[in-house]
Amino acid sequence: MKVGFIGLGAMGRPMAKRLRGAGFELSVYDVMAAAAEELTALGAVAKSNPGEAAASSELICLSLPNSAILKEVMLGENGVIKSLEPGSLVVDLSSVEPQVSRRLAEAVEAQGGAMIDAPVSGGVVGAENGALTIMVGGKKEDLDKAQEVLKHLGKKVFHVGGPGSGQAVKLVNNLLLGANMAAAAEALTLGKKLGLTPETMLEVISQSSGASYALSAKAEKFIYPGRFEPGFAVDLQYKDLELAVSTAKSLSMPLPMGNTAQQLYEIARAGGRGREDISSVIKFYEEMAKIEVRS
């Protein structure tokens, strides 16, 4: 199967490498030409715009930062939709608004193709190891067709409903991650202020009812050594909370936890920490409490 891959960033590059490693004929495109170098060294062909990458492919994967860029790549002058061969399948691995996914799926269908939304969870390590969780919205028959590719990227692939449903589950998941990370940062700082050691807190709480993925994945690896290279960047978590907050607004649903959590990531961005890992939200608490949670 000929595969196109558009967006070769922290997630897209390792995913595309896995597909090339599995033997797929691969056409790649990224707006930063240098992002394709590792792939071309492995035998992939770099294209000069999204349309070119799509024209030569039966299945086109996208891993892009946000809805505005995804729309431009899909609908723009040299975009995917204009070059799509009838019968081609678009697999969008980005995290975007469910309603944007639905609209793009309609546009692809009008062109004789099909699209599934397939946002992922599991971070860069999951992408490198083919161990992502993939949440798919769209037709089951299209997911079945995509499995030939998705099986190399994820260990758990869930079909959760029609177009946009994968994005809806992802949005709910990342609302929880964002709020859990902020809560863990707040709690760890209070514990330190009370004289507890970081090790004691992690050992006890990870076996108690306060346990969370945010605590277990971020405390020992990022916060305690004070190393905040992502990981999962504050800017992306902020964007995911914006997806949740704006979607909730459109449904007239109050979202106090999501809005409060988003403010903490806003503070991190304002402090120049947008490209740091989400665990760096703890620096706000540390500055206020005038201590650091390190070991």
Q: Pick one of 31, 131, 245, 257: the residue that binds ligand NAD (CB under 6 A).
A: 31
Question: From the candidates 170, 192, 218, 239, which is the catalytic residue?
Answer: 170
Find, among 38, 40, 104, 17, the residue nearest to 68 by Cα. Answer: 104
**Does position 32 bind ligand NAD by CB under 6 A?**
yes
Assess 131 for contact with ligand NAD (CB under 6 A). no
Residue from the set 3, 4, 5, 8 that interacts with ligand NAD by CB under 6 A: 8
Residue spans of alpha helices (H) in 79-164 = 80-83, 98-110, 123-129, 140-150
Distances from the Cα of 159 to the Cα of 124, 144, 162, angstroms: 22, 10, 9
Q: Does 274 bind ligand NAD (CB under 6 A)?
A: no
CB 244 within 8 A of CB 258: yes
Considering beta carbons, is residue 189 or 237 the nearer one to ligand NAD?
237
Q: Taking CB under 6 A as the rule, does residue 232 contact ligand NAD? A: yes
What distance separates the 2 farthest-apart alpha carbons in the chain?
65
Which span sits near ligand NAD by CB under 6 A: 65-73, 79-87, 189-197, 214-222?
Answer: 65-73
Asked whether position 168 contacts ligand NAD by CB under 6 A, the answer is no
Cβ neighbours for 224, distance < 8 A, ≥ 6 positions apart: 198, 202, 293, 294, 295
* 123 contributes a contact to ligand NAD by CB under 6 A: yes
Say whether 192 is catalytic.
no
For 290: left if phi > 0, alpha if psi spans -120 to 50, otherwise beta; the answer is left
Binding residues (CB under 6 A) for ligand NAD: these are 6-12, 29-32, 35, 63-65, 69, 72-73, 94-95, 120-121, 123-124, 232, 236
